[in-house]
Amino acid sequence: MKPEDAWLATLGQLQLQLHRSTYDTWLRDSKFLSYEDKTFTIRVRNGYTKDWLEQKLYRAIRHTMCSVFREQVEIKFVVQTRPQRELGDGSFDTAYDPDAQSGGWSAYRASEEARQYSSIYVNEPPPANDWNPQLNSAYTFENFVVGPSNQMAQAAAYAVSVNPGQVYNPLYIYGNSGLGKTHLLQAIGNACFQRGLKVLYATSEQFMNGLVEAIRGKTTSDFRDYYRGVDVLLIDDVQFMAGKDSTQEEFFHTFNALREQGKQVVIASDRRPQAIKGLDDRLRSRFEWGLQVEILTPSYETRLAILNDKSEMKGHALPHEIAHLIASYTYASIRDLEGTLTQILAYKTLMGNHLTIETTERILAEKRGDMAIPNALPRHDVMAIKRQISLNDVLQATARFYQLSLDDILSKRRTKDVSYIRQLAIYLAREETQASWPEIGDAFGGRNHSTMVHGYKKVAEEMETNLDMRREIEDLRKHIHQAAV
């Protein structure tokens, strides 16, 4: 493997391993420079980034690098001197930086400094004031896979992208890491940016670091203009502002300034505002002004759709039985699911082998520690658990969960509470076991096939709009898995 490819592969692995804000802040803009004497030389933006990587992340980066490159290597981070452009008076423009457009607030400041010299560039017009919204063009509504777990969030995000500042302001999207919050934020940004609106995406960590840099450089006025002069502001991982008083104070005023102008604010977090400890009450109340939508763990059908969509995008459509096998695992996040797909496709490409059920099962078994059921079984093979779940397990666990007798669930009683619980059990019996519809019907007191299908579809359809039901099913699912161990 070429050293440059090895570094790109390492970045890909680190993107899966690290929290997104950590990766975006410290590693996304790093560049491979050279490989010599078993040492990779990597360029980073500034001395602060260099020190942070060396002190905080070096061991994790080196471990991943050695694993990818299959050789023991060292890594050296350097702050490369900026290329210099000759000016008309024979001096050099040390403020010029061709990579400035990728660095957020720091790049914005660098580009502004560079513009001070623009009037004396030799035979050149002043540089264009190109605005960088910090967006990834790969994140669009078109390639966001919609399912019951994220349908409301996607619909709200799309509505905001069509009428920014007019419908839900702020829009607050929350859910566990890796479920698609950033995708939706950036999809809003890309849609608005394409229509000519001034958009800015930033993590709360980038906002905080920019504020610190502005205070140190006495450019807080410019910092405020930068964040308050946009039409759409997208702030990710807002929970990391908790406990940081100066950052919260600045963001509070930024939020107010934008909203008073009718500008759109979209916020993402791993939890709802009420659950963020250390969050200023003034910010919490403002986050609650608009619409709060939650993204939940994707269902089996959504996981299958994501796998088929992503594998086709990569040019390696999965065989039907392989896709179903991968989707049958329970994943902590969509990021875990995509990471598993990447590993399986990499095996197919690098080894030149056709994927088989046995090979796929072996790869999935090796990754079992990474594919833990959220808050439940961190070190078990989920597929093995799933195979050993029986219809009786589902029935018994449901009865215990709701403190009913098994006879209540199997009876012909049609009271509202019992009928509702019975339908949830039917849904999970289909989702969590390998049983056929006739087998499920027999287990549920000899009910016919059409009754089972009707109960399943009724739950699946209501889950699309009923957040409370989705949470209840996830809790019951975890209870069933725990009981099956």
pLDDT at 259: 93
| Whether pLDDT at 152 is above 50 | yes
pLDDT digits (tens, 9 = 90+) for 337-371: 888 888 888 877 766 667 788 778 877 776 654 44
Q: How confident is the model at residue 388 (pLDDT cuts 50, 70, 90)?
A: low
pLDDT digits (tens, 9 = 90+) for 248-304: 999 999 999 999 999 999 999 988 998 898 999 999 999 988 899 988 878 777 888
**Domain span holding position 280:** 151-205+219-294
pLDDT at 191: 94
pLDDT digits (tens, 9 = 90+) for 92-141: 333 333 333 345 776 666 666 555 443 333 333 333 346 888 898 888 99
* Torsion angle defined by CA atoms of residues 365, 366, 369 and 372, in that order, rounded to the nearest 10 degrees: -30
Domain end position, chosen among 361, 382, 403 = 382
pLDDT at 122: 33
Q: Are residues 348 and 318 in the same domain?
A: yes
Q: Residue 76 pairs with which residues in a beta bridge?
A: 41
pLDDT digits (tens, 9 = 90+) for 14-65: 887 776 667 777 888 899 999 999 999 999 877 767 888 888 889 889 998 9
Q: Are residues 413 and 475 in the same domain?
A: yes
Tell me, letter by letter, the H, E, C secondary structure of 98-160: CCHHHCHHHHHHHHHHHHCCHHHECCCCCCCCCCCCCCCCCCCCCCCCCCCCCHHHHHHHHHH
pLDDT digits (tens, 9 = 90+) for 454-478: 888 888 878 766 767 887 888 888 8
Q: What is the mean pLDDT of the chain?
A: 80
Q: Are residues 365 and 404 in the same domain?
A: no
User: What CATH number is associated with residue 304?
Assistant: 1.10.8.60
What does residue 266 show for φ and ψ, rounded to 5 degrees? Answer: -125, 135
pLDDT at 20: 66
pLDDT digits (tens, 9 = 90+) for 207-253: 999 999 899 889 999 999 999 999 999 999 999 999 999 999 999 99
Residue 115 lies in a domain: yes
Q: Are residues 402 and 471 in the same domain?
A: yes
Mean pLDDT of 334-338: 80
Instruction: Note whether 176 and 474 are within 8 A (CB).
Output: no
Pairing type for strands 85-86 and 92-93 reads antiparallel
Tell me the C-alpha distance between 455 and 450, whole Å: 9
Q: Are residues 245 and 162 in the same domain?
A: yes
Structure tokens at 345: 């496709």
Q: Are residues 28 and 64 in the same domain?
A: yes
| Whether pLDDT at 379 is above 50 | no
User: What CATH number is associated with residue 223?
Assistant: 3.40.50.300
pLDDT at 129: 47
Q: Are residues 178 and 109 in the same domain?
A: no
Least Cα distance to 182 among 267, 104, 255 occurs for: 267
- Residue 331's identity, in one-letter code, is Y
Domain end position, chosen among 62, 78, 94 = 78
Tell me the C-alpha distance between 467 and 293, whole Å: 9
| Whether pLDDT at 331 is above 80 | no
pLDDT at 463: 74
Q: Please report where in the chains the tokens 């604010």 appear, as a residue.
A: 265
| Whether pLDDT at 437 is above 70 | yes
Domains contained in the chain, number: 5
User: What CATH number is associated with residue 15?
Assistant: 3.30.300.180
Instruction: Note whether 198 and 229 are within 8 A (CB).
Output: yes
Q: Are residues 259 and 368 in the same domain?
A: no
Q: Are residues 287 and 414 in the same domain?
A: no
Radius of gyration of the CA atoms of the chain, in A: 26
Q: Are residues 187 and 282 in the same domain?
A: yes
pLDDT at 109: 66
Q: How confident is the model at residue 83 (pLDDT cuts 50, 70, 90)?
A: very low
- 120 or 321: whose pLDDT is higher? 321
| Whether pLDDT at 164 is above 70 | yes
Residue 304 lies in a domain: yes
Least Cα distance to 78 among 107, 44, 113 occurs for: 44
Residue 97 lies in a domain: yes
Residue 146 lies in a domain: no
Residue 260 lies in a domain: yes
Structure tokens at 62: 């080196």
Q: Are residues 41 and 117 in the same domain?
A: no
